Amino acid sequence: MFGNALSNSSQTLVSLLIVEDEPRYLESTRLLLAQHVHSIDAALTVKDAFALLTTKHYDLALLDLRLPDGNGHEIMAYIRTHLPDCRIIVASGDSEIDSAIQSLRLGATDYLRKPYEPEDLINTVRNAVRKLELERENARMTHQIEQSEQWHRLLVNTSPDVIYTLDADARFSYLNDSIERTLGYMPGELIGRHYTTIVASDQLESALYRFNERRTGERATRNLELMLRRKDDLLSSLTERTSDQRVVVELSSMGMYRPTSLGMGEFLGSYGVARDISARKQAEATITFQAYHDLLTGLPNRALFKDRLGQAMVYAKRHGQTMATLFLDMDHFKVVNDTLGHLVGDGLLQALSQRLRECLREGDTLSRIGGDEFMLLLPHIRTRDNAAYIAQKILLSLKQPFNIEGHELYVGLSIGIAIYPEDGDSIETLIKHADIAMYHAKDHGRNDFKFFTQDLHKSFTGRLAIENEMRHALERREFEVFYQPQVAVQSQRVRGMEALIRWNHPARGLVSPSEFIPIAEESGLITPISEWVMGAACRQARLWRDADMPPITMAINLSARQIEHPQFVDKFIQCLHKHMPDGNGIEIEITESTLMRDMDGAVSKLRKLADMGIEISIDDFGTGYSSLSYLKKLPINTIKIDRSFIHDLTGHMNNGSTIVAGIAAMAKGLKLKVVAEGVETQEQLDYLQTLGCDTYQGFFFSRAVNADAATEILGRTVN
Contacting residues toward Mg ion, per CB under 5 A: 557, 589, 619-620, 677
Q: Which of residues 698-717 bind ligand C2E (CB under 6 A)?
A: 698-699, 704
Q: Which residue is nearest to ligand C2E (CB)?
A: 698
Residue 184 β-bridge partners: none
What percent helix, strand, coil does the chain show, rounded to 5? 50, 25, 25
Candidate list 680, 681, 705, 717; residue touching ligand C2E; CB under 6 A: 680
Q: Which of residues 618-647 bind ligand C2E (CB under 6 A)?
A: 619-620, 643
- Least separation, in Å, of the C-beta of 585 and ligand C2E? 17
Say which entry of ligand C2E, Mg ion, none residue 501 contacts (CB below 5 to 8 A, set by partner kind).
ligand C2E
- Tell me if 485 contacts ligand C2E by CB under 6 A: no
Q: What number of residues does the chain have? A: 719
Nearer to Mg ion, 64 or 677 (CB): 677
- Tell me if 533 contacts ligand C2E by CB under 6 A: yes
Say which entry of ligand C2E, Mg ion, none residue 500 contacts (CB below 5 to 8 A, set by partner kind).
ligand C2E
Closest by alpha carbon to 329, among 388, 384, 387, 391? 391
- Least separation, in Å, of the C-beta of 620 and ligand C2E? 5
Judged by CB under 6 A, the stretch of 225-233, 282-290, 307-315, 697-705 that binds ligand C2E is 697-705
Nearer to ligand C2E, 367 or 559 (CB): 559
> Which ranges of 20-108 would DSSP assign to H, the alpha helix?
23-33, 46-55, 72-82, 97-105
Say which entry of Mg ion, ligand C2E, none residue 178 contacts (CB below 5 to 8 A, set by partner kind).
none
Closest by alpha carbon to 231, among 170, 165, 185? 185
3-state secondary structure 291-320: HHECCCCCCECHHHHHHHHHHHHHHHHHHC
> Which ranges of 547-567 would DSSP assign to H, the alpha helix?
560-564
- Tell me if 282 contacts ligand C2E by CB under 6 A: no
Judged by CB under 6 A, the stretch of 8-16, 283-291, 446-454, 678-686 that binds ligand C2E is 678-686
Say which entry of Mg ion, ligand C2E, none residue 695 contacts (CB below 5 to 8 A, set by partner kind).
none
Rounded distance between C-alpha atoms, residue 518 and residue 159, angstroms: 68
Rounded distance between C-alpha atoms, residue 218 and residue 252, angstroms: 11
Nearer to Mg ion, 112 or 685 (CB): 685
Say which entry of Mg ion, ligand C2E, none residue 704 contacts (CB below 5 to 8 A, set by partner kind).
ligand C2E
- Least separation, in Å, of the C-beta of 646 and Mg ion? 10
- Least separation, in Å, of the C-beta of 557 and Mg ion? 4
Q: Sheet of 263-276: strands edge to edge?
A: 172-175, 162-167, 263-276, 246-260, 221-229
Say which entry of Mg ion, ligand C2E, none residue 513 contacts (CB below 5 to 8 A, set by partner kind).
ligand C2E
- Least separation, in Å, of the C-beta of 704 and ligand C2E? 5
- Least separation, in Å, of the C-beta of 445 and ligand C2E? 10
Say which entry of ligand C2E, Mg ion, none residue 484 contacts (CB below 5 to 8 A, set by partner kind).
ligand C2E
Helix axes 513-523, 526-546, angle to 10 degrees: 130
Helix (H), strand (E) at residue 234: helix 231-235
- Least separation, in Å, of the C-beta of 565 and ligand C2E? 12
- Tell me if 470 contacts ligand C2E by CB under 6 A: no
Nearer to ligand C2E, 245 or 557 (CB): 557
- Tell me if 213 contacts ligand C2E by CB under 6 A: no
Nearer to ligand C2E, 33 or 526 (CB): 526
Candidate list 79, 473, 501, 525; residue touching ligand C2E; CB under 6 A: 501
| Contact pattern for ligand C2E over residues 581 through 620, marking x by CB under 6 A | --------x-----------------------------xx
Pairing of strands 553-557, 494-505: parallel
Secondary structure (3-state) at 451:
strand
> Is there a contact between 213 and 221 (Cβ–Cβ < 8 Å)?
yes
- Tell me if 129 contacts ligand C2E by CB under 6 A: no
DSSP structure class, residue 550: P
Pairing of strands 479-488, 448-451: unpaired
CA distance between the termini of the chain: 156
Judged by CB under 6 A, the stretch of 332-340, 435-443, 510-518, 579-587 that binds ligand C2E is 510-518
Pairing of strands 15-19, 39-43: parallel
Q: Which regions of 528-669 does DSSP assign to beta strands (E)?
A: 553-557, 586-591, 615-621, 638-641
Say which entry of Mg ion, ligand C2E, none residue 92 contacts (CB below 5 to 8 A, set by partner kind).
none
> Is there a contact between 379 and 341 (Cβ–Cβ < 8 Å)?
no
Question: Burial, 232: exposed, middle or buried (Cβ in 10 Å; 0-12, 13-18, 19+)?
Answer: exposed
Secondary structure (3-state) at 474:
coil
Total chain residues near ligand C2E (CB under 6 A): 24
Contacting residues toward ligand C2E, per CB under 6 A? 484, 500-501, 512-514, 517, 530, 533, 557-559, 589, 619-620, 643, 677-680, 697-699, 704
